[in-house]
Structure 1
Amino acid sequence: MRISVIVPAYNEEAVLGRCLEALARQSRPAEEIIVVDNNSVDRTAEVAEAFGAYGVRVVREVRQGAVHARNRGFDEAGGDVLGRIDADTMVGPEWVAQLAEAFAADPRTGVRPDAVTGPSWFYDIPLRRAGLAAHRFFCHRLNRLLSGHAMLWGSNMALSRGCWSAVRGHTCAEPGMWEDLDLAVHLNRLGLRVRYVDRLRVPVSARRIGASVRDLYSYLRAWPHTYRLHGQRRAAWGAAVFLLVGLVLLRPCSLLVRAHTPYDGTLSLSRLFRRSSTVSRPLP
């Protein structure tokens, strides 16, 4: 089973190096790692090219947006399994091996999944177990409850090549939606099987949570909007309600993220009162 890993990247020089270092240290190496440079104006491509000896290659996608970068990477990949993470994901050394295991046939039914996904925790904030529990609930369990089908998490997922071939022409590219949720909706409509693997866990950055209320709302409103675009009105209403609840619950977390210094675990008031756009969240 050949495994390709796709990493869409836009201005990610601060975090991409450690992401690729983690992929280079796998107990079961991926056959190829593709970084899709989506019009970066920093050193993203240069950082990625430095890992050429580890099977990393850079492709460029000029159409702006995560969905275009993801699609380009999946189209370029030659593996039987197409893994997908974000540039601020830092996988553990067994992640690729766990992907291979996850795509094995179920011993009870003999059926292989078409896609797999797992949860995440946040490596650059305290209360990591709480973050994992919250991610399990809001990303996976709640979306399954609202929509009636499994969710995919873009920072930690993989599709079989056959699955991608089947769903490729159905994916949407409208702005302001979550591309991983869109993909999950279409997999469900095509009757393709998504396997949630709880032990397939990856740490990701909490930098988005540390944004301003305005920026956080701008990101989260894509949740009900994506359901609405696909005609899932009940799921859209439910997501809208939980979005408002989430904004209230996330506000103290957002302040904690902004004040937290990932390098030494201390809290910094100077970070708390900076403009959110200037608060860099590099890997510790």
Structure 2
Amino acid sequence: MQPAKPTVSIVIPAYNEESVIRQCLIAAIYQSMPAHEILVVDNRSTDRTADIVRHMQLEYPESPIKLLEQNEEQGLIPTRNHGLNQATGDVLGRIDADSVLEPDWVETVQTGFTDPVVAAATGPVVYYDMPMRRWGLKADDKMRQLVLKLARNQYHFLFGSNMALRRTAWEQIRGSTCRDERDEMHEDIDLSLHLAEQDLVIRYIPGMVSGMSARRLEDSPKDYRYYVTRFDRTYRAHEVNQRVLKIPMLIFMSIYYPAKVLRAVHTARTGRTAAPQR
């Protein structure tokens, strides 16, 4: 007898995401296997984010979209935590408001988590507002598999735009995850390290694909460098010193200028900076 496939919640922290939240939700709705619930956690948005979600609840009344509010404090981590704590699925998917899931994402996550050893999982991303998207997906996949191989499978990191963890694993680590009040770290790397500290298995699933925006390239060089060096600050907070773990940071630093040029050319040709709506 085949083991029952776990239910999957999708948690989407959101702050002023009116330009992208609709396309994110449409992709989450149109899945080959439906999500157990789709939780948008609004964090004091001052734009139309919450209104768009409410409108989509009316437009798609059979979809499991729920709108939550996290107004106690500003920040991604408390907003993420509120969503994960409120989610009721066996597996808690966590994506960004600019993520656009592939149509089989929920089904792929369900299959991956039928293995009881798997506590968390992540997959590659495709940048939908960049040229040569499928080539970019292959490159992203190869980079992640290379880092995992070089780390001898000791470390693998969740990616906030495309990740999932078993609810029991979240319950095991949620009391110890870093609050990062100074906003210096990568919250998804921190989550990964807390899982590793508990010997909880993170699985890389190549078919677990999410689209995301390359809007980070709009940052100034100074801001982009600060974003990338969050890797180092997160490692130091956990007293982790592995040279191989610097590879993603070096890759992100090296691609900034060429990727910025490619995105500018793509935007000029298409007139779009966001994914087309379905």
- TM-score under structure 1 length normalisation: 0.85
Letter in 2 for 1:206: A
- For the residues of structure 2 that align with 1:258 and 1:61, how far apart are their CA atoms? 35
Aligned pairs for 1:1-284 within 5 A: 1-52=6-57, 53=61, 54-62=63-71, 63-105=73-115, 111-139=116-144, 141-142=146-147, 145=150, 148-174=154-180, 175-235=183-243, 239=246, 243=249, 246-261=252-267, 266=269, 281-284=273-276
For residues 209 and 2 of structure 1, the distance between their equivalents in structure 2, rounded to whole angstroms, comes to 35
In 2, the alpha carbon distance for the partners of 1:15 and 1:197 equals 25
Deviation per CA, 1:167-214, whole angstroms, max 9, x where unpaired?
111110112111110011010110111111101111111111243212
Asked if structure 1 preserves the Cα contact closer than 8 Å seen for 2:228 and 2:252, the reply is no
Return the offset for 1:143. Answer: 6.3
Q: Using the alignment, how far apart are the partners of 1:9 and 1:50 within structure 2? A: 16
Structure with the bigger RCO (C-alpha within 8 Å, sep 6+) is 2
TM-score by length of 2: 0.87
Residue 230 of structure 2 aligns to which amino acid in structure 1?
A: A
Secondary structure (helix, strand or coil) at the match of 2:178 reads coil
Per the TM alignment, residue 244 of structure 1 is displaced from its structure 2 partner at its CA by: 5.2
- CA drift of 1:124 comes to 1.0
- The corresponding residue for 2:3 is none
Q: Which residue of 2 aligns with 1:276?
A: none
Q: For this pair of structures, how many residues does the alignment match?
A: 263
SS of 2:67 mapped into structure 1: strand
Q: Work out whether residues 152 and 184 of structure 1, in 8 Å CA contact, stay in contact via their aligned partners in 2.
A: yes
Residues 267/95 of structure 1: CA separation in 2 closer, same or farther (3 Å cut) = closer
For 1:27 and 1:245, locate their aligned partners in 2 and report how far apart those are by CA, in whole Å.
Answer: 34
Query: For residues 146 and 15 of structure 2, what CA distance do their matches in structure 1 show?
Result: 29
Q: 1:23 offset after TM fit, Å?
A: 1.1
The amino acid across from 2:68 in the alignment is V
Cα distance in structure 2, aligned partners of 1:242 and 1:20: 29
> 1:170 is paired with a residue of what secondary structure?
coil
Distance, in Å, in 1 between the alignment partners of 2:251 and 2:110 is 37
User: CA RMSD, aligned part only?
Assistant: 2.2
The percentage of aligned residue pairs carrying the same residue is 38
Letter aligned with residue 160 of structure 2:
G
Give the drift of 1:90. 0.7
- Measure how far apart 1:112 and its partner are: 3.3
The code of the aligned residue for 2:275 comes to L
**Which of structure 1's runs of 4+ aligned residues deviate more than 6 A?**
none
- Give the counterpart letter for 2:236 in structure 1: R
Counterpart code for 1:186: H
Amino acid across the alignment from 2:192: A
8 Å Cα contact 1:140-1:151 kept in structure 2: no
**Deviation at 1:258?**
2.9
Deviation by residue 1:234-275 (Cα, 9 ceiling, x = unmatched): 34x952x764564343212112213422xxx7178xxxxxxx
CA distance in 1, matches of 2:168, 2:135: 36
Confirm or deny: 8 A CA contact 2:128 2:274 kept in the other structure: no
